[in-house]
Structure 1
């Protein structure tokens, strides 16, 4: 525990500085090794408006895009391992109605593997929530929307579609599926890190999903998962302990991506000192998880950096990199 404690002391310093400077309301940093040893530290506020609440180690977080790797990627890869889907087949093998009014369009050729690695021509995001709040109609809109083809970018649409795959195969909405041990699709408003004072929902969001499209869809594959520092570290420890069983999430699909996860590249969120065997992912609300399989440790930084507004420079990008470099420094 001594090594982990010293790493935590060093790495929490920039988190504490960001909180004291008013950049983020609060944060939790947790580290775990492959033996299951772990340390955590917490500071700041889970909510500041309309009333203040202190953040604790039991505070729940809207994990945002960590949902992509903690839930959706895991489920899709399990289906591939079971032979239910072929990662190199088009997603139309499960979603035959996707853009079915034009059988020759490029959307119908997109594969599961391409969606996992963000190697598709979809745009990064489209505000589908602006079309209304009927989740069934929005699913139909997304499946029939005429997308503009562009260069491959990190796109929520890839994982919205993968979420539809899970729904179609399980014959239920994604919120009806088991989110996994220690995770949930919502949280107690009195024990959660609040996110945004939402303009269109007219309230401070606490315990309900921050992501606009996920909210309007009543659950989706790209966001919506809630968890605590303990549940995220439990997930990380299982991955570190079963390193050989995680081949695909460690297998590069591009210079920046594996199946679902990011891999090290210049300027990435995992800093400059992580090993080449590191994978990671971030969430818009201010969350993140990184696993270094070579060093045998993982860390999660959970913040509520969008509270009470996203329209503010929280400094989350340099903060994540500073924390990572402090953890991985000799």
Structure 2
């Protein structure tokens, strides 16, 4: 193994020893060198060793894939990010909802609440639930406040579906995964035998989740919406991150919108937001100047285009329960360790 692979394996082993997860995988590109490492097993009750083929629930990392698809539509001139999306599909409810733009949705400034708890009521028919989520009342005027919102991103995906006439899985496949040659990345459900376990969600009658989306809201909407639902193996997750180092996926405008701070209301101190990604977020990057995204299941990726560095970390830190492990400090430690390797 190369020194970079050894370093990845050592970092993953630390998280495993600290019982932050049962399954971990990481990939790094530094210049022309690429390395992957895996550790652990699929679950406490699944002794399948983690391999390069193991599928991880990306959780909110899915937002980056959907964001990339929408940026390609912007590159093609099919979406004006500053035009009201109501021209394509009305979303939200309340004063000003007809002024919501795609920029606001992708930068979490549209005014939507952070969550929608309709998943708790299984008696609501699926299509009615979807419409009620899309028409969620706003908590603030469009463009006035930053509020990280899964609801807003679900709305962004629905707008893209309405524009193209394609279901979101087909849209992501056509615009993102196929151009990058990713054959095992996509929306679930996937074969549980090839997936790492996430959480015991017996509280909604699911039992241990494995091969289906972990996020309750996405699950209640069929598991194929923009806030969560994509699965990937570590090598392909790294390939997606690497696409921000070249022009294989995004055109000049899309790449600039993905990697530069977007016009936005005041954000929490310490980070900025692009069209779909966080910039220099100390919550998972520490002091590393990079762009990327995290996922609730214990996933993240980040890139430094100017240094040709791409990183992904995939875990199942919510297994068997979300309150068992806080992976925040480990993410920061991991990010800083890779940044030091890249600078050496």
The normalised TM-score by structure 1 is 0.88
Contact 1:248 / 1:259 at 8 angstroms: preserved in 2? yes
Contact 1:30 / 1:39 at 8 angstroms: preserved in 2? yes
Residue 130 of structure 2 is aligned with which of 139, 144, 154? Answer: 139
CA deviation after TM superposition for structure 1 residue 97, in Å:
6.5
The aligned length equals 315
Match for residue 331 of structure 2?
320
Q: Are residue 262 (structure 1) and residue 256 (structure 2) matched?
A: no
Distance 2:163 2:43 in 1: 38
Residue 62 of structure 1 is aligned with which of 57, 62, 81? Answer: 57
Match for residue 291 of structure 1?
303
Residue 294 of structure 1 aligns to a residue whose secondary structure is helix
Match for residue 305 of structure 1?
317
Match for residue 169 of structure 1?
163
Contact 1:24 / 1:303 at 8 angstroms: preserved in 2? yes
Distance 2:136 2:24 in 1: 38
The 1:228–1:300 alpha-carbon spacing in structure 2 relative to 1, beyond 3 Å, is same
**Cα-to-partner distance string for 1:249-307 (whole Å, 9 max, x where unaligned):** 01102542111001014x231221x33xx211001111111111121111111001111
Structure 1 unaligned segments of length 5 or more: list them: none
CA deviation after TM superposition for structure 1 residue 34, in Å:
4.9
Residue 300 of structure 2 aligns to a residue whose secondary structure is strand
Contact 1:134 / 1:217 at 8 angstroms: preserved in 2? no
Distance 1:135 1:264 in 2: 38
1:156-305 to structure 2, matched below 5 A, reads 156-179=150-173, 180=177, 181-182=182-183, 183-186=185-188, 187-199=190-202, 200-218=204-222, 219-242=224-247, 245=252, 246-253=255-262, 254=264, 255-265=271-281, 267-272=282-287, 274-275=288-289, 278-305=290-317
Query: Is the deviation greater in 246-255 or in 256-265?
Result: 246-255
Contact 1:34 / 1:241 at 8 angstroms: preserved in 2? no
Distance 1:148 1:97 in 2: 13
Distance 2:304 2:334 in 1: 14
The normalised TM-score by structure 2 is 0.85
